[in-house]
Amino acid sequence: MRKGAIQAPPEEEVIRRLEEFGRRIAESVLKGEEPVIEVPVRTLANTIWDEKRKLLVLGPKKALRSYFDIGESKKFMQTLLMLSLILRARREGDYPTIRDLYYTGKHTIYYIDEAGRRRSEETWDDQRESNSVIQDIEVAVNLLREHMGIMHDAKGKIVGNMVIRSKGYEIDLSRMGSGAYAIPPNVDKLEIVSVDAEYVLVVEKDAIFERLNEEEFWKKNRCILVTGKGQPDRSTRRMVRRLWEEFNLPVYVLTDADSYGFYIYSVYRSGSISLSYESERLATPGARFLGVAVSDIERYKIPKNFIIKATERDIKRAKELLSYPWFKESKAWVRELELFIERGEKVEIEALSGHGFKFLSQTYIPEKISTGSFLY
Amino acid sequence: MRKGAIQAPPEEEVIRRLEEFGRRIAESVLKGEEPVIEVPVRTLANTIWDEKRKLLVLGPKKALRSYFDIGESKKFMQTLLMLSLILRARREGDYPTIRDLYYTGKHTIYYIDEAGRRRSEETWDDQRESNSVIQDIEVAVNLLREHMGIMHDAKGKIVGNMVIRSKGYEIDLSRMGSGAYAIPPNVDKLEIVSVDAEYVLVVEKDAIFERLNEEEFWKKNRCILVTGKGQPDRSTRRMVRRLWEEFNLPVYVLTDADSYGFYIYSVYRSGSISLSYESERLATPGARFLGVAVSDIERYKIPKNFIIKATERDIKRAKELLSYPWFKESKAWVRELELFIERGEKVEIEALSGHGFKFLSQTYIPEKISTGSFLY
C-alpha cells in the first residue's frame, strides 16, 4: 500500500458497486426467480473475536432476505429504497446525512389487505430502522457509508507535524495555532502527504487536548495529538488506524482510570460490538493504554482526596470488560481490572495536576512512554 | 476598534490585574483593616435585560465577602486560593483546565474547633464550587477565564473565506478541504486578518455543517459557516460575536423548529442566564433566526409524517421562552411561540430534504435570506 494515499474508492467505483447490488436483484426478477438479498448478520451472536488479528469481526453467518417471505419483505423493500436514495445522491453529487436519508425515504404506503380493508404502513418508523439498512448496504457492497458520501457528526480533532491533502489543498497540521484540524467524516478521502512524528497520542478528553495543544506538547515531543472526545466516532478511529497502519506509528491512548476510559481504549484497539463489521478498517490492534492505570494511584502517589469511589455501575462494567476476550487474554489487563474491582477506586487524568500543572506533559506521559509502562 | 485585531489583553496585563486584585486584599490586611472581597452577584435576581443593548447583563448588586464573617470566610479563602493558582499558571506559562484547577486547589485543612475537637474541611468538595470561584474572579478582574489561560472543551467549527493568525501562523479557513478549523478556547487571541463574506451562517447541527461544508455551500454563497454543535460553548459564541461586531456581518442561525432550537438561537443572540456576566462579550444582539420556523410547515409544505409531536416538556419550555423579555418584546417571536404551543408540532432541519437533497442549500437558505424571512 502506498503510504498515505487516498483510501476511499473513486466515485465511479462506489456507483458501480451500488448499481451492481441493485442489478443482481433486478436480474433475478427478470429471470422469474425469487428476489433475494444476502446480507451478513450483524448480531452479537455473529460477532467473533479474531485472536490472530486482534479484532472484533463479523462471523460467517449470512441472512437471506426474500421478497416473498412476508416477515422479510419489508426489510427487503427498505433496503432497495435506501439503495436508490444513496445511489441518487452519489449520481447527483449530494452529501445527505443519515437523518436526511431517513426523512427522504420516509413515506406512507397505502394498500388493501386480504380482508379488503384499506391500510397503511410507514416505510420506516424511526431512524434506527433506516440506519440499520444503511449498515446492511455497507456490508453487502463492502463500502463504508463515508465512502458513499453519507454525512454524520464528526467529533475528532488532530494536530501535529503532518501534512494532508483534501479537495486539492495541502493542509499543514502543525500550523493550526491555538486551534486544531477538525477531522472530516470521510477520512479515507484525505491523502496523508507526510508525517514527521514518533507516535500518536490519543487523549480521551477534549479539555486535555486543548491544554496539550496550547502547550505545543506535540511539537516538543514529536507526536501527533488526537482526541475523539470520549467514546470516539468512526472518523477519529479511522484516522488513528491510518496513522498506525500506513506510517507504523505507535499509538498510545490516555483516558481516565475507570471502566469507561478502559472501554474507550478497547474501542480504539479492538473495535466495538455494534460496529464489528467495520473493525477491519476502524480498529488499531497495536494501540496501547498509556494510563491512567489503577496501579498509578500508588506509583504516582495520588492523594487520597483525589480518588473517586467507583459506583456499582463502574464495577459491573469492569466485570463485563473482564469477560471480553480482548481483555481476558491479556494478563496485564486482567490484573488491572481485578485491581480496579478490588479497590473500587477511580482516578481522573486531571488528578495528576496535584503534582503541578506541568506534571502530565513533562513527567507522566514521557516517563510512561520511555519506560514502556503501558498496558495492552 | 481595529478590525479583527487580537482582543485578548496581553499576558502582562492579565498578570497585573490578577496581582492587583490580590494586592488590594493584602494591603487592607497590612493596614489592620477587615479583609473584604467585593464581587458582583451572579444570581438570576441580579440578571437584568438591557433593552437598549438587547443583552442579558449583570445588575448592579455586589456582594461583600468578609474574611471575618464565618458564613463567608470559606468562600473568601477559596477565592484567594484560586487566584493564587491562576496567577501561578500565568507566571509559569501553564494552561490548566478548569478540572486541573479543581484538583490542584483541592486539599484538606485540619483545625481544632472551639470545643477543642480536631476537625477537617475540604477546600472544595466538587467542581461547581471551584468553577463558581473562577467566575467570581472573572467578574472581579474583568477578564474572561480564557484570557487567564484556562482551558476547557471547545466544540465549535468554522470554515469560509477568512484568514486568521494564531501563534504566528496565518490560517486560511477556505483551505480546510473536507475538514474544518476547530475553534480554540481563547478566541480573543486570534487575529482575524481578513474576511471575504456576506454573512455568517450558524447551524445548530454538526452533521448539517459537515454536509454544507462538503458541498462547499460557503464558497458558492460567500458566507462563513459555523457550528456550535447544539447549545454553543463560550468560544463559538465569542467567534460569532467578533464576526458580527468587527466585520458588520449579518448573522443567521439555523436550528430545528422546537423550543430547544429557539433557545439556542437566543443564547447566540442575547446570552444565557448562567453566563449573563459575559453577554457583553459573548452575545450577538444582531443575530437573526433563519429557521426552521413553525410557519415553515405550511410555507414549505412539510409532509404530515415528517412532523413530530411536541412533548409536554417542549410546550412547557416554549411557555417559559414566552416569558423572557427578549422573546416577549418581539411580536414576531410571540406569534411564533404561540403558534408552536397551539400546534404542538416540531420539525427538524432534515425534514426539508423531503423536497430533495439540494433543497436546503439551493432553495431554503438562499430564499429565506433574499426575501428577509427571518425572525428576531
Look at residue B70 in the predicted model and tell me its pLDDT.
82
Write out pLDDT tens, residues A212-260.
999 999 999 999 999 999 999 999 999 999 999 999 999 999 999 999 9
Do residue B205 and residue B70 come from a single domain? no
Does A189 touch chain B if contact means CB atoms closer than 8 Å? yes
Strands A223-227 and A157-159: antiparallel
Does A200 touch chain B if contact means CB atoms closer than 8 Å? no
Give the domain-ending residue among B116, B141, B166: B141
For residue A1, what pLDDT band results from cuts at 50, 70 and 90?
very low
Share of chain A above pLDDT 70, in %: 99
Do residue A133 and residue A229 come from a single domain? no
- The answer on pLDDT for A2 being more than 60 is no
Instruction: Closest CB to A100: pick one of B175, B186, B353.
Output: B353
Return all residues near A89 (Cβ < 8 A) that are at least 6 apart: A95, A96, A148, A149, A150, B357
Whether residue A216 is contained in a domain is answered as: yes
> Reduced to 3 DSSP states, what percent helix, strand and coil does chain B have, rounded to the nearest 5?
45, 20, 35
Residue A276 phi/psi, 5-degree rounding, is -60, -25
Strands A162-166 and A191-195: antiparallel
Instruction: Please name the residues between 85 and 104 in chain A that touch chain B, using a CB distance below 8 Å.
Output: 88-89, 92, 94-100, 102-104
- The answer on pLDDT for B235 being more than 90 is yes
Do residue B182 and residue B329 come from a single domain? yes
Q: Which of A182, A169, A327, A349 is nearest to A263 (CA)?
A: A327
In the set A103, A265, A268, A277, the catalytic residue is A103
Do residue A121 and residue A28 come from a single domain? yes
Whether residue B147 is contained in a domain is answered as: no
Instruction: Closest CB to B207: pick one of A152, A169, A208.
Output: A152
Whether residue A150 is contained in a domain is answered as: no
Tell me if residue B344 falls in helix, strand or coil.
coil
CB contact under 8 A, A171 and B177: yes
Instruction: Closest CB to B153: pick one of A94, A95, A206.
Output: A206
β-bridge partners, B36: B66
The enclosing H or E element of B133 equals helix B127-141
Q: Which of A341-345, B2-6, B49-53 has the lowest mean pLDDT?
A: B2-6
CB contact under 8 A, A176 and B181: yes
Do residue B163 and residue B284 come from a single domain? yes
DSSP state of B10: P
Q: Say if residue A292 is preceded by a cis peptide, omega within 30 of 0.
A: yes
Q: Identify the closest residue of chain B to A212 by CA–CA distance.
A: B95
Q: Is A103 a catalytic residue?
A: yes
CB contact under 8 A, B348 and A103: yes
Q: Where residue B126 sits, what CATH number does that domain have?
A: 1.10.10.10
What is the Cα gyration radius of chain B?
A: 23
Share of chain B above pLDDT 90, in %: 77
Mutation choice for B interface testing from A11, A95, A219 by most B CBs within 10 A:
A95
Going B140 to B144 to B146 to B149, the CA torsion angle's sign is negative
Do residue A170 and residue A117 come from a single domain? no
Domain containing B118: what range?
Answer: 11-141
Share of chain B above pLDDT 70, in %: 99
Cα-to-chain-centroid distance, residue B2: 23
**Distance between CA atoms of residues B86 and B18, nearest Å:** 8
Do residue A109 and residue A165 come from a single domain? no
Whether residue B31 is contained in a domain is answered as: yes
Does B245 touch chain A if contact means CB atoms closer than 8 Å? no
**Distance between CA atoms of residues B76 and B72, nearest Å:** 6
Query: Considering its fold, how many domains does chain A have in total?
Result: 2
A375 Cα to chain B: minimum distance (Å) = 25
Half-sphere exposure of residue B185: CA atoms within 13 angstroms, side-chain side: 23
**Distance between CA atoms of residues A117 and A372, nearest Å:** 71
Contact pairs from chain A to chain B, CB under 8 Å: 204
Grid cell for residue A121: 404502513
Whether residue B6 is contained in a domain is answered as: no
For residue A52, what pLDDT band results from cuts at 50, 70 and 90?
confident
Whether residue A2 is contained in a domain is answered as: no
Three-state SS across chain A? CCCCCCCCCCHHHHHHHHHHHHHHHHHHHHCCCCCEEEEECCCHHHEEEECCCCEEEECCCEEEEECCCCCCHHHHHHHHHHHHHHHHHHHCCCCCEHHHHHHHHCCEEEEECCCCCEEEEECCCCHHHHHHHHHHHHHHHCCCCCCCCCECCCCCEEECCEEEEECCEEEECCCCCCCEEECCCCHHHCEEEEECCCEEEEECCHHHHHHHHHCCHHHHCCEEEEECCCCCCHHHHHHHHHHHHHHCCCEEEECCECHHHHHHHHHHHHCCCCCHHHHHHHCCCCCEEEECCCCHHHHCCCCHHHCEECCHHHHHHHHHHHHCHHHHCCHHHHHHHHHHHHHCEEECHHHHHHHCCCHHHHHHHHHHHHCCCCEC
Mutation choice for B interface testing from A151, A226, A238 by most B CBs within 10 A:
A151
Strands A47-50 and A55-58: antiparallel
B39 Cα to chain A: minimum distance (Å) = 27
Active site residues per annotation of B = 103
Write out pLDDT tens, residues A178-195.
999 999 999 999 999 999
Do residue B99 and residue B210 come from a single domain? no
Grid cell for residue B242: 467578533
| pTM, full prediction | 0.93
Q: Where residue A121 sits, what CATH number does that domain have?
A: 1.10.10
Write out pLDDT tens, residues B329-351.
899 999 999 999 999 999 999 99
Contact call for residues A228 and A203 (beta carbons, < 8 A): no
Whether residue A3 is contained in a domain is answered as: no
Tell me if residue B113 falls in helix, strand or coil.
coil
β-bridge partners, A118: A112
Grid cell for residue A370: 520511555
Give the domain-ending residue among B141, B169, B184: B141
Do residue B173 and residue B281 come from a single domain? yes
Q: What average pLDDT does the structure give for chain A?
A: 93
- The answer on pLDDT for B353 being more than 50 is yes
A164: which chain B residues are within 8 Å (Cβ-Cβ)? 177
Q: Which of A226-230, A337-341, A351-355, B64-68 has the lowest mean pLDDT?
A: B64-68
Look at residue A21 in the predicted model and tell me its pLDDT.
94
Write out pLDDT tens, residues A280-325.
889 999 999 998 999 999 999 999 889 999 999 999 999 999 998 8
B189 Cα to chain A: minimum distance (Å) = 8
Q: Which of A194-208, A273-287, A333-347, B276-290 has the lowest mean pLDDT?
A: A273-287
Give the domain-ending residue among B86, B106, B141: B141
Do residue A300 and residue A165 come from a single domain? yes
B176: which chain A residues are within 8 Å (Cβ-Cβ)? 166, 169, 171, 181-182
Do residue B228 and residue B323 come from a single domain? yes
CB contact under 8 A, B357 and A180: no
Look at residue A326 in the predicted model and tell me its pLDDT.
87
Whether residue B365 is contained in a domain is answered as: yes
Q: Where residue A243 sits, what CATH number does that domain have?
A: 3.40.1360.10
- The answer on pLDDT for B2 being more than 70 is no
Do residue A170 and residue A236 come from a single domain? yes
Q: How far is CA B282 from CA B195, B277, B285, in A?
A: 20, 9, 10
Look at residue A26 in the predicted model and tell me its pLDDT.
92
- The answer on pLDDT for B38 being more than 90 is no
β-bridge partners, B48: B57
Contact call for residues B173 and B183 (beta carbons, < 8 A): no
